[in-house]
Structure 1
Amino acid sequence: MDIVQTILLALIQGITEFLPISSSAHLILPSQVLGWPDQGLAFDVAVHLGTLIAVVAYFRKDIALLMVAWFGQLSGRAADEHTRLAWFIIIATIPAGLAGLLFKDFIEINLRSSMVIAVTTLVFGLLLWFADAKNEGAKTLVQLTLAAAVIIGCAQALALIPGTSRSGITITAALLLGFSRQDAARFSFLMSIPIIVLSAGLMSLELLGADSVDWTALIIGTVVSAASAYACIYFFLAFINRLGMLPFVIYRLILGCILLFISFA
């Protein structure tokens, strides 16, 4: 990849990782429309590392509270709201982790076509619109229950299907359960941390023994994806209550139609 391709692909990953618009739907466009080569596994690891750095940096205070509370309970201290939230994040990660182990190969072989991505982009975009339209935004993360965490975690497992959008489907599930847009997004972003760690870890294992690595592209990809992802999280949380989900729904519908056109062209 040249420098322009590297920066653009890193920007796509950084921005789309946390917006409810599907990173896989966007990453297919450069290869399908512009004929760019696949970015490769090493670059995927680099941009995932960048998004991990961004979300950890943004939520560093929350993460510190959660870790202190969680380890404190393990050492005998009484549980509090931070302990419960830490456990719920762990529990919500399990369905996606299991689904990834069981169905990764099937999904890679059968569900990575532009047609599948187009359909899931459209269908889950409409579901996001429905959830946001029906949402009353009364619940906060303090009211999160084990059952709700499991439901949102199962929704996250659906994001293994390309075009679904991990943040989109988890925010959709949280909105349907009555959580506010702000809290739905915060839980979705906090849930992304263990998932990104697991994903990057598995990809790193596959990289063992690789012959050559373009370190310049990897460093640029990590830095650009981290900066763009951090900005994305900041502005999304700052404006989500005013904007709602409709702009993202409209964008998904347009993108899905473009991908359908590409599929039939």
Structure 2
Amino acid sequence: MDWLQVVVLSVVQGLTEFLPISSSAHLILVPVLTEWEDQGLTFDVAVHLGSLIAVILYFRHDLRRMAASWTLSLRNRSLHQGGDDPDARLAWWVLLATIPVCVIGFALHETISVSLRSPVLIGFSLIGFGLVLGYADWHKREGRSEYQLTLRDALFIGLAQALALIPGTSRSGITITAALLLGMSREGAARFSFLLSIPVTALASGLEIHGVLQAPQEIDWQAMAVGVVLSGVSAYLCIHYFIAFIKRIGMQPFVVYRIVLGLWLLWIFW
């Protein structure tokens, strides 16, 4: 990998990880469209690690409260909805909503990583799920926050998150869509989606690291370090400005982007 490829892929990963436009689609498409060699699993681990660090840092205060309240709920055996503590409940909902994607992702990992990387499939996914996001954003909202979710809400969003295993769907896009359909505010939907990314990204990175260890190769540590830093910085900025942006403007610019990109991909590759 040359340094231009390192910079471009790192920034693309950081920016698209939390935007509802599919980071996996862009990481697949950049080498295809530029004719660069595939960046490899090791670099994918590095840029995802950068994004994970960014979201943990951004929500560090929330995570500290959630961890403390969740631990207390275990000690008090107050498992049902985390008792009366909203932070404990939110922590439980994040954990429960992570289960479907982990189970399905583990079962279908090989199929997904090999068979579902077609630009045509990505194009259809971008358009189809983009239209659903557009409908959800236009749909009347009650304006609930992430602290007002129920067990049924968390499971619905968790099942929706499993669809993000299809490249082009967008993990943040499909979880925000599901949350909006449940009557959450745009900000609440985005915040819950970002919190959900933490266990999912951590587990996915662990699986990728296992793959790297099973097939040892020479590692360019400088490129890995730059990838972590650039993806982390761009992801942190993306989270901050995305939440402020959607409160004022909504999801429609991302819907338009998804449709245009999807149509372009179908025109080129189909």
TM-score, length-scaled by structure 1: 0.97
- Paired residues of 1:148 and 1:177 also in contact (CA < 8 A): yes
Of 118, 140, 143, which aligns to 2:145? 140
Give the match for residue 204 of structure 2: 199
Q: Give the whole-Å Cα distance in 1 for the aligned partners of 2:188 and 2:30.
A: 33
Which letter does structure 1 place at the counterpart of 2:27? L
**Any stretches of 5+ residues in structure 2 without a counterpart?**
none
Q: Structure 1 residues 97-106 or 172-181, which shifts more?
A: 97-106
Q: Give the whole-Å Cα distance in 2 for the aligned partners of 1:201 and 1:110.
A: 21
- Paired residues of 2:54 and 2:233 also in contact (CA < 8 A): yes
Give the match for residue 70 of structure 1: 70
Give the match for residue 113 of structure 2: 108
Which letter does structure 2 place at the counterpart of 1:42? T
Of 172, 185, 190, which aligns to 1:185? 190
Question: Any idea what the Cα deviations from partners look like across 1:216-265, whole Å, max 9, x if unmatched?
Answer: 1100000000000000000001121111000000011111012112213x
Give the match for residue 27 of structure 1: 27
- Paired residues of 1:137 and 1:175 also in contact (CA < 8 A): no
* 2:227 is the counterpart of 1:221: yes
Give the match for residue 251 of structure 2: 245
* 2:217 is the counterpart of 1:211: yes
Which letter does structure 2 place at the counterpart of 1:43? F
- Paired residues of 1:137 and 1:181 also in contact (CA < 8 A): no
Which letter does structure 2 place at the counterpart of 1:66? M
Q: Please, what is the CA RMSD of the aligned residues?
A: 1.1
- Paired residues of 2:28 and 2:117 also in contact (CA < 8 A): no
2:70 aligned counterpart, secondary structure: helix
Which letter does structure 1 place at the counterpart of 2:4? V
- Paired residues of 1:152 and 1:173 also in contact (CA < 8 A): yes
Q: Report the alpha carbon displacement of residue 169 of structure 1 after superposing the two structures with TM.
A: 0.2
Q: Report the alpha carbon displacement of residue 77 of structure 1 after superposing the two structures with TM.
A: 7.5
Q: Give the whole-Å Cα distance in 1 for the aligned partners of 2:127 and 2:246.
A: 21
* 2:250 is the counterpart of 1:258: no
